[in-house]
Structure 1
Amino acid sequence: MVLKRMLASVGIGGASVETTLDDDTVRPGRKVTGTLKATGGNVTQTLEGISVGLRATVEKEYEYTDSEGEEHSGEYTIDVVVAERVLSDERVELEPGQELELPFELTIPMEAPITATKNKHLQRGVGLNTRLHVDNALDNTDVDPLSIRPLPAQRAVLRALRSLGFKRKGVDLEKGTIPHTRQKLPFYQEFEYSAPGKYQGLDSLELTFLTDEEGIDVVLELDKKRGILFSEGGDKLLRLSVGHDDTDDEKIARKLHKWIDSTAGKRSVL
């Protein structure tokens, strides 16, 4: 059993909440289970509701034009509730020192971002959050990291890219939608890679998984170099749909290589 704690002082009186997870490792589409315990503080407080959810800190880009007519861009972060389960919506008087214990389960969406592989944590800003509605105030400051591992088909794609020589540089969450995909959440996850030398016309690659119960849309954004093999650089989107039983990373690698190589320009032998 893995014990994870989220402690939050809520308003005057300091009610707190502690959450114990049965396991802090899960795959998309599966359930996280555990027990929540709220403990009264120094004075009686009114609990108007208790919920547990999966939250993500997401980057959002913006553009603006200054007073001199020059265009600028930047980004800021927003908080997104990916999934939430209401444990209680009844008004309860929590006396000083009183303990209120509630079991819970929360289904992690199929499209939830991957936060970890077997040996490495990948994505910050994603985790479980317990919220207490206390005396007309809402506490939602504590987020407990959750290890969301890739599905077998997702893992096969990640292995395929690694076998082709792509090196992962980072992982981000971006606000927005990708057209003509099975995306449902208002954001998507990008795995950023540097390109191996055998793809001479390619500078970098970004990978996104958009997943539901039927399968996975694999979206590749190829950043092409300027000058070497192209008159102009720029981005190129490639889309590949795979089923949940497509776990042969060598087969996927061959398919990805064919697509990437035809776009990057140089023919190389796999």
Structure 2
Amino acid sequence: MFKTLLASLGIGSARIDLVLDRDEVVMGEKVTGQLYVYGGNVEQAIEGLSVDLRLKSRHVKTGQEMEETVCTIEVTDEEFTLRPGVEMKFPFSFVCPYTLPISSINTKYYFMSNLEIDNGVDAKDRDFIRIKPVGPIKWFLEGMSELGLELKAEGLSGDEDEYLQMFQFQPADWLKGQTDEIIFWYDTVKSKKELRGFFELKGQSSAKGDYLSLDLEQLATRESAAETIRTHLQRHLKGLQV
């Protein structure tokens, strides 16, 4: 009876542990693993088992931290009884969408595993996962790196229906004296087959911006991406007051 009371308070209760096969995933790929459930000191009724993909970032416009559930993966919705000391294992898999912002300076992801316990404190487990870019955004970022532009800040605007991800770059040697910073926004939902976004070049007393749409041919390699970006920036630097 005393053990049952403690378990209802979360002491000596069931535990959960998600073990991923890897801690990073490329957009469009599947991440897999095993979800372990360990019985506590008493028998407990389990009402469900699920895993939330959670996003943490910083909102660019407000400067506040943001944290929200991107999606929920149901591992099992069947009720079962977990006996003391028993170990159970459930397969876990998740296909990463192409529409999510990528992991970066402020944007992070983790899986929150949830074990729903009847008349008890639900057990939880947190495991971080890195989401890596593919396609247009991958080659765009590599092209910026090829040009020597250093990523200094990053954040999000919008919500899960349509995120906008912002990258702030510090000028490279060839841009010193021409611009103080380069800001790029892109639409994560609409940038699977082409990169759609907005460039802003900032000086001390002026700024210039322009919409940008680059296709897969322009972003086919690191080198072609760098040349496309260089041409675009040089075209818009004229008249900028630094």
What is the TM-score when the length of structure 1 is the normalising length?
A: 0.71
- What is the root-mean-square deviation of aligned Cα atoms in Å? 3.1
Counterpart CA distance in 2 for 1:159 and 1:213 is 16
Q: Residue 111 of structure 2: SS of its match in structure 1?
A: strand
Counterpart CA distance in 2 for 1:102 and 1:149 is 26
1:55-204 → structure 2 map (5 Å cutoff): 55-60=54-59, 74-115=62-103, 122=105, 125-135=108-118, 138-140=122-124, 142-172=125-155, 174-176=156-158, 185-196=161-172, 198-199=174-175, 200-204=177-181
Report the count of equivalent residues: 230
Q: Which runs of 4+ in 1 moved over 6 A?
A: none
Cα 1:244–1:263 shift into 2, 3 Å? closer
Work out whether 1:31 is the aligned partner of 2:30: yes
Structure 1 match to 2:5: none
Cα 1:85–1:235 shift into 2, 3 Å? farther
Shift of 1:132: 1.7
Shift of 1:95: 2.1
Shift of 1:215: 0.9
Letter in 2 for 1:36: L
Match of 1:224 among 199, 202, 211: 202
> Which runs of 5 or more structure 2 residues have no equivalent in the other structure?
1-8
Counterpart CA distance in 2 for 1:152 and 1:187 is 17
Q: Residue 48 of structure 2: SS of its match in structure 1?
A: strand
Q: Residue 81 of structure 2: SS of its match in structure 1?
A: strand
Cα 1:106–1:198 shift into 2, 3 Å? same
Counterpart CA distance in 2 for 1:244 and 1:127 is 33
Counterpart CA distance in 1 for 2:112 and 2:140 is 30
Counterpart CA distance in 1 for 2:169 and 2:192 is 27
Task: Give the conservation status (yes or no) of the 8 Å contact 1:204–1:223.
Answer: yes
Structure 2 match to 1:206: 183
Q: Bigger CA drift: 202-211 or 255-264? A: 202-211
What is the TM-score when the length of structure 2 is the normalising length?
A: 0.78
Counterpart CA distance in 2 for 1:75 and 1:84 is 27
Structure 1 match to 2:233: 260
Structure 1 match to 2:6: none
Counterpart CA distance in 2 for 1:128 and 1:245 is 35
Structure 2 match to 1:249: 222
Counterpart CA distance in 1 for 2:128 and 2:73 is 17
Cα 1:167–1:15 shift into 2, 3 Å? same
Task: Give the conservation status (yes or no) of the 8 Å contact 1:190–1:207.
Answer: yes
Shift of 1:161: 0.9
Counterpart CA distance in 2 for 1:158 and 1:111 is 17
Cα 1:245–1:225 shift into 2, 3 Å? closer
Shift of 1:235: 5.8
Task: Give the conservation status (yes or no) of the 8 Å contact 2:52–2:69.
Answer: yes
Task: Give the conservation status (yes or no) of the 8 Å contact 1:157–1:253.
Answer: yes
Q: Residue 261 of structure 1: SS of its match in structure 2?
A: helix
Counterpart CA distance in 2 for 1:110 and 1:36 is 25
Cα 1:132–1:206 shift into 2, 3 Å? farther
Counterpart CA distance in 2 for 1:97 and 1:258 is 65
Cα 1:50–1:214 shift into 2, 3 Å? same
Counterpart CA distance in 1 for 2:217 and 2:98 is 11
